[in-house]
Structures are given as structure tokens and as C-alpha cells.
Structure 1
């Protein structure tokens, strides 16, 4: 019986990748002193995000500092000076990046129908978001689209003291469930599905047809992987265990 369903957030509930490309696209297009073409600058920003987000998740810097590190590497390519004052870096991020990023957030159209259907299941599972993102920013995304009410918990490294994949076991303890009775749904085949399975959960791969990291085609999964193309297909996989 499935007791708890964990959902990844970025790439699963909210289209984070497209929002980043839209927000940074406006910045690089309007940079008269840029040292590289706009498409190269956008790719660099995405690469820097992955690198410095990894440092934050490893506990080597704060969430604010991971933004500063990214910006210190990026501003010279943009043809802009790098302020020594961390506060000026924070202001740049807040005003020129975070504001347009938040305006570019989009919720996937299959999310709310899926959550509504799960609510209607007899003895339906508890729902939680399990994300490696910053808790304030991630809750803001969910609140923007009226999704917070569906979840019993929003779990991040701040609450759990660890990021995925270590966080799977901790998240199950937080929710008071056995990993064997938990499902994790996400768009990342390795970190959302295979890593969840190693921790004893059932991983379900939401294949949205794009690799979140590279932007290329989805990876190839073996036949043993539970795969769905739309979140609205999820209740069908759960309802037999809830009867």
C-alpha cells in the first residue's frame, strides 16, 4: 500500500528551466558590452547555476552566497564590473534576475488535475514536496499556483539537513512512513527515480520529453523503470494499491 507520495518540484510541478532561460535571456540581450553572443551567455549562466547550486547543496555556502558566486563569474562575461560589496551583488540578483525569473514561472497544466484526482482516491496517500531548492523560493512557487494546500509538507535541505539522494531516508522518517510504502515522482531519471529506489522507495519517472540539465532529448531508461509522460497518469498507478 502506498502511504506517501513525494513530488520533486522543478521540472515536475513548475517549469524552472524555461523560466531561467527566459529571465537570463532578457539580461543577455540587453547587455551592450557582452563578451560573447547571447546564446553562449545563457548557456554559461545555466552551467554556473548547476556548479554553485551543487556547492550550496554540499553545505559549502549559503543559498545567497551561491548566487553571489555565480554572479562573480558571470558579470565579467556580461561586460560589467564585479562589486566587492556582497549587498550590491544581492541587489543585482534580486532586481535583475529573481524578479523576472518569478514572473516567468509556469506551472505545468497536468499538475493540479493530478493532485485533485489523488485527493479523490479512497484512502489516498499523503502528499509532500521533496526538493533540493531554497525553502522560501520553493514555497513561493507553490503558493503562486495555489498548490500548497495539497501537500502535508514541503521538505528541503533546510528541514532535512541533507539534499537528495541522502534526503530520501530522512524524508520518510519526517513523514513517519516506511520507504517501502513511499513513492517518489520526478523528472530526473537518476536522482529522482534510481536514487529513490536505492533508498527503498518506488521511483516513478515523469518523462516530459526533455533532459532538465542539457535541454536535449530525454535519456533512455530500461524497461524496469516506471515511466509516465503526464502527471495525470499517476493516480492510475497508485489506485490499485489504495483499494
Structure 2
């Protein structure tokens, strides 16, 4: 939200209000990320498609060539986006507590994002060494939700012994459970797709509000 807010602020010829532009951005994010996850386009092309649809609302011309679109993304979007990266304060304490457990879990990051960008994000906050792997569709050949089973194979673990922790109820928790893993929902009180309040979950969903609650929750699961 911080990144798109800065881009909107720097667009004097925008044809819509900042709130409407932010809503449009997230709508396009959902649409074109879905196309990427369905294998209909590359990760780079999903960015291009979003920008093609977004630039008219910013009051800017749409470049015809992919190279010019990539240049816009590299110059206007990525620097603002990368500058907006933040680490929640409960992340490193959680990882330290997990490391101290008598039978601490093996850890990996599973993401549908670009591998270099994801590793850079984790490394910026000194967290990379906590994880055995950063797994993306590039390594696994598939994206979530199929990637849950692929990630278990990569880590040489049975899905029944694996836990997936994420802040997206459907794609991180319910989809992981369908793949045979235990899904734990990190509910930070916001829907990260719409920007609205968290969705309503079934009472059976394992839920935490802070990552520092995770070690205690893990001790009460069979995984």
C-alpha cells in the first residue's frame, strides 16, 4: 500500500482519486497474478499486464514495447516498492524461539514471487540464514497451491509432518490443508488482497495473531 500510495502521489494527471487508484491497483494485482499462477504468463509479463491496465488511470501513455514497460517498472515501481519493505517486529523473535526448541522445525520460505527479489527481501533483514531454502515456482516448476506438495518433496518431508504458516486464509491455510499439510493462519487483522478487514474463518482453523505465538501453537499440533 505504501508503494502504490507514493506512485499515485507522484501522478498529477491521474484520472481517479487516490483511493480509487489504490483499489484499481489491487484489483489488477489479483487478476494478473492469477494469470501468472495459472501458467498463462511469466512473472515479468504479469507486471507488464498490470502496468498496461493501470497507466491510463494515472493519466500516462502506455508504452507499446515490452522493453519500455520493463523500464517503467524498473524506474518508477520497483525502487518505491523495495523501499517500502518492512519486517514485522515479531518475525525474528519467532525464528529465534523456534531455533531454541528441543526439536526445532526445519524451515523454508515458500512464495509465488520472483526468487531473486524474495531472497533480497529476506536478506535485507538478516533472516536468510534461518531457512534451508527459499522456494518459488522457478525452482519447483509449479506455483501455489500445487507447490505445497512440491515443496514437501523438495524438503524430503511428508506433508502430514509439515506446517504452512501464512497470512492468506484461502491460499496459505485452506489450500495447504487440502494438500495434506497443517495450515496455520497468521491473522494480522487485514485482508492483504482487498485491504479490508480479515475474512471470517471456520472455528476449526488454527489461528495466531502474532508470530511469537507460533512455537506454542506448533507444540499442540500433530505435525
Answer 1 or 2: higher relative contact order, Cα 8 Å, separation at least 6.
1
Aligned to 1:208: 188
Matches of 1:241 and 1:89 in 2, distance apart? 47
Aligned match for 1:141, one of 121, 133, 151: 121
Cα distance change on mapping 1:240 and 1:26 into 2, 3 Å = closer
The one-character-per-residue Cα deviations of 1:72-96 (angstroms, maximum 9, x if unpaired) are: 1111111111111211111111111
Q: CA deviation at 1:240?
A: 6.0
Matches of 2:38 and 2:165 in 1, distance apart? 23
- Determine if the alignment matches structure 1 residue 119 to structure 2 residue 99: yes
Q: CA deviation at 1:64?
A: 1.3
Structure 2: segments with no counterpart, 5+ residues: none
Aligned Cα RMSD in Å?
Answer: 1.4
The one-character-per-residue Cα deviations of 1:162-220 (angstroms, maximum 9, x if unpaired) are: 11111111111110001111101011111111111111111111111111111111112
Aligned match for 2:201, one of 214, 221, 227: 221
- Say if 2:167 and 2:186, in contact at 8 Å, map to a contact too: yes
Aligned match for 2:157, one of 167, 177, 197: 177
- Determine if the alignment matches structure 1 residue 196 to structure 2 residue 176: yes
How many residues end up aligned between the 2 structures? 222
SS of 2:116 mapped into structure 1 = helix
Aligned to 2:28: 48
Q: CA deviation at 1:128?
A: 0.5
Q: CA deviation at 1:241?
A: 6.7
TM-score w.r.t. length of structure 2: 0.95
